Amino acid sequence: MAEMWISMGPQHPMTHGLWTLKVKVDGETVVDTEPDLGYIHRGVEKICESRDFTQITTYCDRLCYASANTWSHAYIYAAEDLLEVEVPERAEYIRLVAVELQRIASHLMWLGAYGPDIGNLSVMVWCLREREMMMDLLQELGGSRMHYNFPRVGGVKRDLPHGFAQRARAKLKLFLNRIQEYEALFDESTVFLVRSQGVGYAKPEEMVNHGVTGPNLRAGGVNYDIRWAHPYSVYSELDWAPPVERSSIKGADCYDRYRVRVEEMRVSASLVLQALDKMPGGADTYHEPEDPMILAKAPTRAPEGTTGAHHFEDSRGESMFYIAGGGEGRGKQPYRVSIRSPMFITIPYAAKCMIGYKVADIPAIMGSFDPCIGETDR
Amino acid sequence: MGNTVSPDSQKSAAQAVADAASAIEGVEAEVVERSSGTNPRNVVVVSASPESWRFLAENLYSEHAVDHCSMVTGIHWPDVEAERRWEVVYHLLRTGVRDPPIENGLVRPMMANPTKLRGASVPIELEIHVHIPDTTTPSVDSVQDIWVGADWNEKETWDLVGIDFDGHQGMRRVLQPHETPQGFHPLQKQHHLRYHGFEEMYDDAQGFMRKPADVGKIK
């Protein structure tokens, strides 16, 4: 049969954003793919070169609308490496709470968007209901619902508000019960199983070579996680293990990637609960902003020759910032900020995964990798 | 508790790689202690000449199991001495990920125990600086065929910074529009962020200010 190229996107439900997937088809079979990105390239790296170190957090929040806190924290760790700041331990615990709550919210957003992708419409409303609880908690910390601007170089903006720990415990307890409802909704849906099982196989060694990390990698039966491999924050103090899925012999399919994210929400909830219990000074005490318990004094200048880098476990894989100091105003601004987006690397690989499957499998495979175009195009 | 890689084992593993890399001609490597928040971490910081980079990359991949390319960063330094006007920074990781073993037709998940990892299976991070002397056409050897993850990183570096990669297959614009003028790479330092004046593509990405080529010449 004659082969032809089809352009899926930039407006297509499969894209989860704004980009084009060019698909070469032979009948119904995908024989070649080529992603075309850059539709919402804002030049964040260039903008950062004319901003102070403290001002950049705002732009990092806006890299990914579903997972803002993980991105601003990834930047803050790199900036602290650059400016050589020692962070108070209580601030590290508060950051862990913020990041893991954000991870749950991000995975819920993914789960809610993935259901409609493959014909399970009601799940979207259920997931957004629980995401609302996480957003409320994050709003208490950062003050806004989406872009929190919460971490600061040297600590965090605010301490946990009065009664936060109590509300977080209650909401997470409710949430942990409700995860079972999602599992019932997905695992007992024949449509979901037929469309997600046995498509989009990916092998771990190949994924690492292609730069794919995070939940997508752990779905393949390996437990690699930046949080233990290059420890930051206080993960070493808590009792946890990254969830790993027992994949099939051919590798991880879309169903494994769904399973691993649901398990990861449980682990994140457990991490938050542990952090609230173990926090130095207790989760119920409150410190004023800029108290040395939650915010260390940090220099504002980084002269030329200094560099900072940090690998961070984002909701979608390994995110990373590399900052070279010594920009305008005798180092008040960075000379160069470079951002590693996990999805920028994963989307080409996901496009390769589709080869050999049917056109109808494309939304199932693409959605299972959790694409976010805000961070991809930067 | 404590189920993370300890700084001591990380340091000795990093030291082993740094010592081996330093033996290559044109390569200097050392282990630098950095911090992330409250945690110390050990990074292998390598400085390599453009000629030795490709050999170093092959060596790291085959001898030291460095299996993951995180990021490629290009930097334009117009104001420094001529030997290092351009810089490419590679961030690599050794993840130690292998395909999990198959027993009786079933996959047995590979659960690495972070506290028991020793020697070449300890995850380490590397930061490799390659300095390129002053030129209008900077380029280094591509490592696209070693780490496929470097593929789109290299495309992006050429697109935004203008550093080319010799041997890279399928180089094209990835973040900027396909019709971007040849030679326009916005992260080069001669381009400034400006909010007024429309000479540069950055200010007129939407094309509202574009005029026909013969404007003013015909009645």
Closest-CA distance of chain B to residue A104, Å: 22
- Under the banding of pLDDT at 50, 70 and 90, the label for residue B13 is confident
For residue A274, the SS3 value is: helix
- Under the banding of pLDDT at 50, 70 and 90, the label for residue B198 is very low
CB pair distance less than 8 Å for B202 and A320: no
Of B91, B111, B149, Cβ closest to residue A309? B91
Is residue B194 within 8 angstroms of chain A, CB to CB?
no
* DSSP strand pairing (B164-166 vs B68-76): unpaired
- Under the banding of pLDDT at 50, 70 and 90, the label for residue B215 is low
User: Which CATH number goes with the domain that contains B70?
Assistant: 3.30.460.80
Share of chain A above pLDDT 70, in %: 100
In chain A, residues with a C-beta closer than 8 Å to the C-beta of B100 are: 204, 220-222, 247
For residue A127, the SS3 value is: helix
Are the CB atoms for B73 and A308 separated by under 8 Å? no
- Tokens linked to A136: 């409320």
Is residue B109 within 8 angstroms of chain A, CB to CB?
yes
Predicted local distance difference test score (pLDDT) of residue A38? 87
In chain A, residues with a C-beta closer than 8 Å to the C-beta of B155 are: none
DSSP state, residue A88: P
Are the CB atoms for A324 and A48 separated by under 8 Å? no
CB pair distance less than 8 Å for A228 and B73: no
- CA A152, A156, A161, A167 dihedral sign is positive
Q: Whose CA is closest to A273, among A166, A151, A182?
A: A166
Of A89, A224, A322, Cβ closest to residue B71? A322
Mean per-residue pLDDT of chain A? 88
Q: Provide the domain limits for residue B151.
A: 7-97+116-173
Is residue B84 within 8 angstroms of chain A, CB to CB?
no
Half-sphere exposure of A121 (CA within 13 A, CB side): 0
Are the CB atoms for B197 and B203 separated by under 8 Å? yes
pLDDT tens by residue, A102-137: 999 999 999 888 888 887 788 888 888 889 999 999
In chain A, residues with a C-beta closer than 8 Å to the C-beta of B111 are: 223, 241, 244
Q: Is residue B50 part of a domain?
A: yes
Task: Please indicate, yes or no, whether the overall pTM of this predicted structure exceeds 0.95.
Answer: no
Predicted local distance difference test score (pLDDT) of residue B207? 59
Nearest-by-CA chain A residue for B33: A81
Q: How many contacts does A have with B, using Cβ atoms within 8 A?
A: 194
Q: Is the pLDDT of residue A317 over 80?
A: yes
Of the residues A336, A347, A376, the best mutation for testing chain B's interface (the one with the most B CB atoms within 10 Å of its CB) is A336
User: Which CATH number goes with the domain that contains A34?
Assistant: 1.10.645.10
% helix, strand, coil for chain B, step of 5: 25, 25, 50
The domain tally of chain B equals 1
- CA B3, B8, B9, B11 dihedral sign is positive
Nearest-by-CA chain A residue for B127: A309
Is residue B201 within 8 angstroms of chain A, CB to CB?
no
Q: Is the pLDDT of residue B192 over 80?
A: no
Euclidean distance between CA atoms B214 and B217, whole angstroms: 5
Q: Is residue B81 part of a domain?
A: yes
In chain A, residues with a C-beta closer than 8 Å to the C-beta of B163 are: none
Lowest mean pLDDT among A54-63, A81-90, A304-313, B108-117: B108-117
Of B3, B38, B147, Cβ closest to residue A86? B38
Is residue B183 within 8 angstroms of chain A, CB to CB?
no
CB pair distance less than 8 Å for A38 and B173: yes
Single-letter amino acid, residue A20: T
Lowest mean pLDDT among A75-89, A306-320, B98-112, B123-137: B98-112
Q: Is the pLDDT of residue A192 over 80?
A: yes
Predicted local distance difference test score (pLDDT) of residue B195? 52
- Under the banding of pLDDT at 50, 70 and 90, the label for residue B197 is very low
Q: Is residue B168 part of a domain?
A: yes
Q: Is the pLDDT of residue B205 over 80?
A: no
Is residue B36 within 8 angstroms of chain A, CB to CB?
yes
Mean per-residue pLDDT of chain B? 82
Predicted local distance difference test score (pLDDT) of residue B217? 63
Predicted local distance difference test score (pLDDT) of residue B101? 82
Predicted local distance difference test score (pLDDT) of residue B218? 56
Predicted local distance difference test score (pLDDT) of residue A325? 85
Single-letter amino acid, residue A294: I
Q: Is residue B180 part of a domain?
A: no
pLDDT tens by residue, A243-293: 888 877 788 888 999 999 999 999 999 999 999 998 888 888 888 888 888
pLDDT tens by residue, A2-56: 888 888 878 887 777 788 889 999 988 999 999 988 888 988 998 888 888 888 8
CB pair distance less than 8 Å for A247 and B2: no
Predicted local distance difference test score (pLDDT) of residue B1? 47
Nearest-by-CA chain A residue for B95: A224
Q: Whose CA is closest to A37, among A9, A71, A61, A2?
A: A9
The domain tally of chain A equals 1
ipTM value of the model? 0.86
If 0-12 CB within 10 Å is exposed, 13-18 middle and 19+ buried, where does residue A105 land? buried
Share of chain B above pLDDT 90, in %: 22
Is residue B190 within 8 angstroms of chain A, CB to CB?
no
Sequence-distant (≥ 6) Cβ neighbours of residue B208 within 8 angstroms: none
Of B34, B41, B147, Cβ closest to residue A209? B147
Q: Is residue B201 part of a domain?
A: no
Euclidean distance between CA atoms A158 and A151, whole angstroms: 9
Q: Is the pLDDT of residue B145 over 70?
A: yes
Euclidean distance between CA atoms B132 and B157, whole angstroms: 14
- ∠ CA B31-B34-B38, rounded to 5°: 145
In chain A, residues with a C-beta closer than 8 Å to the C-beta of B60 are: none
Predicted local distance difference test score (pLDDT) of residue B89? 93
Residue listed under structure tokens 């027992």: A246
Q: Provide the domain limits for residue A57.
A: 3-377
DSSP state, residue B64: S
Predicted local distance difference test score (pLDDT) of residue B10? 82
- Under the banding of pLDDT at 50, 70 and 90, the label for residue B216 is low
Q: Is residue B208 part of a domain?
A: no
Nearest-by-CA chain A residue for B37: A87
CB pair distance less than 8 Å for A38 and B91: no
Binding-site members of A are 45, 64, 339, 372
Residue B72 to residues A338, A356, A365, B165, Cα–Cα distance (Å): 9, 31, 27, 11
CB pair distance less than 8 Å for B97 and A41: no
Q: Is residue B182 part of a domain?
A: no
